[in-house]
Amino acid sequence: MIKINENYKKLQASYLFSDIAKRVTAFQAANPRKHIIRLGIGDVTRALPDACIKAFHAAVDEMAGDATFHGYGPEQGYDFLREAIAEGDYKPRGCDIAADEIFVSDGAKCDSGNFQEIFARDIRVAIPDPVYPVYVDTNVMAGRTGEAEGGRYTGLTYLDGNKANGFIPDLPGEPVDLIYLCFPNNPTGATATKEQLQQWVDYAKANRALILFDAAYEAFVQDESLPRSIYEIDGAREVAVEFRSFSKTAGFTGTRCAYTVVPKDCTAYTANGEAVAIHDLWNRRHTTKFNSVSYPVQKAAEAVYSEAGRAQVKALVSDYLKNARYIRERMEALGYDCIGGENSPYIWIDAKGDSWAFFDALLDKAGVVCTPGAGFGKCGEGYIRISAFNSFENVQQAMSGISEVH
């Protein structure tokens, strides 16, 4: 008899996006003429940069000839892309990251979900709340938690984000082994300073812990004093793995290309206390379970680092940030407390009451779809997330709608 992994039964069904879809469909049916503006999901809306499209086309043409065709590539990614990443993303910021510490993949979602696999089941895991749900659910699937009680899994250490700490969680009160951090944050848009990240790196070093740092939104950081990478922090090479993605940076959500940095100085320990290089473990896992990203997609990603690619990505990011600033200014003018939107595409808004009630009010009265904060964890209750991924015209229209009904 084939038996299931019982841990899957502990998973709380995520009704968030299906609930949103149901409410939007019902609203549209009742108001067929109403133009609905979706500022809910975190998907980009603009086309790939022209430099990426050109490289993509050229690489597809290469696949058309026997002499230039590419079959299986290196599982870790082609050197041309790994080198472009090390040179383009890390070297200019003074981060000592070598090309062979970069693992190209088809998404930061898979990498941030899969990375926990190389660690023991009985490690203690710390996860912020509110949070991108992948970190929690993958640890539940792996059996690192008990059942859910009152919206939280027993056995996990939750790091509360709230107004008092500006949604930058404090260090845990108990020893933990694996720590998930994400800055700029989804859903809150909060960004951590170098001093704040230094505290986490120091904590990890002191406790022989590891930080999994999700930097999927680093391209949105405009304030030069803020870190874009955990490796801008002293000592991080020994205690941090970083996830990055071309999804939000260059519009690759449907094209799929991302990467994970695993410095060779990061160690974990055997049951006997012997140090093992995490790089070796991840290399083993990655090459066993993954056959890399298609050649044309890696060529398209490489073009992000060309002169034209850089300029186009910068323009794309500033367009979304223009939307974000506008949303934040308008919501603040209406008297709402907001965070994010300056160095992030998300604006996190104190709904002054129930998340879902605010969601319904925005939809019913203004035809605007946002995301209720409660869907991201207990600490998200009472907040909503508005995303800047849309056209400026739609954002303007959404904000006028909200102002009118306010």
Q: Which is nearest to 191 in space by CA: 232, 222, 157?
A: 222
Helix (H, G, I), strand (E, B) or coil at 14: coil
Mark the segment that binds ligand PLP (CB under 6 A) among 104-112, 200-208, 289-297, 395-403: 104-112
Burial (CB count within 10 angstroms: exposed 0-12, middle 13-18, buried 19+), residue 229: buried
Cβ closer to ligand PLP: 103 or 402? 103
Cβ closer to ligand PLP: 216 or 402? 216
* Residue owning tokens 């995490």: 278
Cβ closer to ligand PLP: 89 or 366? 89
Can you tell me the distance from the alpha carbon of 360 to that of 379, in angstroms, rounded to the nearest whole number? 20
Can you tell me the distance from the alpha carbon of 125 to that of 180, in angstroms, rounded to the nearest whole number? 8
Backbone angles phi, psi at 348, to 5 degrees: -110, 120
Tell me which of 191, 247, 343, 371 binds ligand PLP, using CB under 6 A.
247
Using rule CB under 6 A, residue 48 touches ligand PLP: no
Task: Quote the least distance from Cβ 65 to ligand PLP, whole Å.
Answer: 31
Mark the segment that binds ligand PLP (CB under 6 A) among 105-113, 145-153, 287-295, 357-365: 105-113
Mark the segment that binds ligand PLP (CB under 6 A) among 52-60, 102-110, 261-269, 272-280: 102-110
Encode burial over 181-214: b for 16+ CB neighbours within 10 A, e otherwise.
bbbbbbbbbbbbeeebbbebbebbeebebbbbbb
Instruction: State the DSSP code for 342.
Output: S
Using rule CB under 6 A, residue 108 touches ligand PLP: yes
Burial (CB count within 10 angstroms: exposed 0-12, middle 13-18, buried 19+), residue 390: buried
Cβ closer to ligand PLP: 45 or 397? 45
Q: Are 167 and 339 in contact (CB under 8 A)?
A: yes
Tell me which of 109, 144, 237, 385 binds ligand PLP, using CB under 6 A.
109
Q: Which residues contact 145 (CB under 8 A, 6 or more apart)?
A: 7, 10, 139, 153, 154, 155, 156
Cβ closer to ligand PLP: 247 or 371? 247
Instruction: State the DSSP code for 202.
Output: H
Task: Quote the least distance from Cβ 154 to ligand PLP, whole Å.
Answer: 24
Per CB under 6 A, contacts with ligand PLP among 167-226 are 182, 186, 214, 216
Using rule CB under 6 A, residue 249 touches ligand PLP: no
- The helix (H) or strand (E) run that includes residue 149 is strand 148-149
Task: Quote the least distance from Cβ 177 to ligand PLP, whole Å.
Answer: 21
Can you tell me the distance from the alpha carbon of 379 to that of 11, in angstroms, rounded to the nearest whole number? 19
Cβ closer to ligand PLP: 132 or 356? 132
Task: Quote the least distance from Cβ 9 to ligand PLP, whole Å.
Answer: 26
Encode burial over 130-158: b for 16+ CB neighbours within 10 A, e otherwise.
bbbbbbbbbbbbbebbeeeeeeebeebbb
Using rule CB under 6 A, residue 132 touches ligand PLP: yes
The tokens for 88 are: 């383009």
Using rule CB under 6 A, residue 51 touches ligand PLP: no
Using rule CB under 6 A, residue 81 touches ligand PLP: no
Q: Which is nearest to 240 in space by CA: 284, 282, 180?
A: 180
* Residue owning tokens 């060309």: 306
Give the residue closest to ligand PLP by C-beta.
107
Q: Binding residues for ligand PLP, how many (CB under 6 A)?
A: 14
Using rule CB under 6 A, residue 251 touches ligand PLP: no
Task: Quote the least distance from Cβ 257 to ligand PLP, whole Å.
Answer: 8
Using rule CB under 6 A, residue 130 touches ligand PLP: no
Task: Quote the least distance from Cβ 76 to ligand PLP, whole Å.
Answer: 17
Using rule CB under 6 A, residue 371 touches ligand PLP: no
Cβ closer to ligand PLP: 107 or 263? 107
Mark the segment that binds ligand PLP (CB under 6 A) among 5-13, 101-109, 233-241, 285-293: 101-109
Cβ closer to ligand PLP: 128 or 367? 128
Can you tell me the distance from the alpha carbon of 325 to that of 199, in angstroms, rounded to the nearest whole number? 29
| Footprint of ligand PLP (CB under 6 A) | 42, 107-109, 112, 132, 182, 186, 214, 216, 245, 247, 253, 258
